[in-house]
Chains A and B, each alone.
Chain A
């Protein structure tokens, strides 16, 4: 795992005078969890087998990219080092827990993701955002390629951009603000043109896309472009 030192993170949708989020030091997996790693977890925890998982925890497409062999499903050996996809939030959470880890929070994930190759905050670096957007603009390939093959960022972490989207612990809590009386408390300023002009960094369109994507998810969704990695409190 990579050590991440504590720092400040300013959620992009808040205005420049709104409070920053303090991110405490933590560790994060250097690469997304692979099919091979997830297979080991499933072998030890048969409840997470494709044909055994409760419908509360995963959609029908759960692990649908694995192959059926002897009533068990397993990843194709050529996919071993590719990131596991078609996993729900519950499956990701349970995997991390089995490793005595946890899912990273949105703030932690974004804090790591804003690093470029050479500095903690690549946001203002020329070409940084464009590179991410170029990936978002590409049509997705059949399956993502193997993990850890890209150049690591400032923290030594791979694949924060350019491979898959990732689950976070509090993926669906981004749009809530203030106390709710009838579920109308979503932060309307985030929508469309009304809020982006007031955002800290309106040019960080890539981060807007991630927020939009995350809040569209339901914990049991399983998608072909969505995997995860785990985190842990504190540094080594």
Chain B
């Protein structure tokens, strides 16, 4: 929680890669302001404070993306009772130009995502930077389709990469295992 508050205080700048209070290797170093499916503007660092399961998705896609979301839901179902509501789920749009806040909202409703989930959109540069930080690759191909890595990442409460797994129903098992090992200490931190 402390980290979260400090993050908020320090994050006045809007510039990409602005000063950050996150650890040097934290994905949250990418920073900047993102919009949620509910139209809220949030700093990337506001995701700090609890572990997050994060993936890049293309809301218009018909193949891998639903699989990623379903796989993340499987992770959610397997969270131990005492950790419910202490693990966040984040989906980041790879196509912010076509994904309006409204379409993210529709997507979230269609998928039945609860309050532990966020669907984010940023600008193209930010998305590319975040994708690189998550070791993911993507390419906008013809007809507005997107070819992308099918990776789901577990970040600890400071945004450091803990586990990366393939976003298929069996592929996410390493993330389920890692969450199972988190001890619900006051800070809910998965850092050893």
Contacting residues of chain B (139-166) with chain A, CB-CB under 8 angstroms: 139, 141-142, 145-151, 166
Contact B64 A181 (CB under 8 A): yes
CB neighbours of B147 from chain A (8 A): 173, 176-180, 185
CB neighbours of B78 from chain A (8 A): none
Contact B19 A47 (CB under 8 A): yes
CB neighbours of A208 from chain B (8 A): none
B133 interface neighbour in A19, A176, A183, A219, Cβ under 8 Å: A219
Q: Report A159 CB to chain B, min CB distance, Å.
A: 25
Given A173-B138, A176-B147, A182-B166, A56 and B27 contact (CB-CB distance below 8 Å): yes
A173 to B148, CA, bound (A): 9
Contacting residues of chain B (10-27) with chain A, CB-CB under 8 angstroms: 15-20, 24-27
Contact A169 B128 (CB under 8 A): yes
Q: Is A55 among interface residues, defined by CB-CB distance under 8 A? A: yes
Q: Is A15 among interface residues, defined by CB-CB distance under 8 A? A: no
CB neighbours of A94 from chain B (8 A): 16-17
B150 interface neighbour in A54, A93, A97, A183, Cβ under 8 Å: A183
Interface digits, A36-53 against B, CB 8 Å rule (1 contact, 0 not)? 000000000001000000
Contact B24 A56 (CB under 8 A): yes
- Report the interface size for chain A: residues with CB under 8 A from the other chain: 30
Contact A182 B148 (CB under 8 A): no
A218 to B132, CA, bound (A): 8
Interface centre among A19, A94, A172, A174 (most CB of B within 10 A): A172
Contact A180 B139 (CB under 8 A): no
Q: Report A115 CB to chain B, min CB distance, Å.
A: 25
Contacting residues of chain B (93-139) with chain A, CB-CB under 8 angstroms: 125, 128-129, 132-133, 135, 137-139
CB neighbours of B141 from chain A (8 A): 177-178
Contact A172 B25 (CB under 8 A): no
CB neighbours of A89 from chain B (8 A): 132
A169 to B67, CA, bound (A): 28
Contact B129 A93 (CB under 8 A): yes
A220 to B134, CA, bound (A): 12
CB neighbours of A154 from chain B (8 A): none
A57 to B20, CA, bound (A): 12
Contact A170 B128 (CB under 8 A): yes
Contact B24 A55 (CB under 8 A): yes
Contact surface of B with A, Cβ cutoff 8 Å: 15-20, 24-27, 29-30, 61, 63-64, 67, 125, 128-129, 132-133, 135, 137-139, 141-142, 145-151, 166, 168, 171
25 contacts between A and B (CB under 8 A): A19-B142, A47-B17, A54-B24, A54-B25, A54-B29, A56-B24, A56-B29, A56-B133, A90-B17, A90-B129, A93-B128, A94-B16, A94-B17, A97-B15, A173-B137, A175-B137, A176-B147, A178-B141, A179-B146, A180-B148, A180-B149, A181-B168, A182-B171, A183-B149, A218-B132
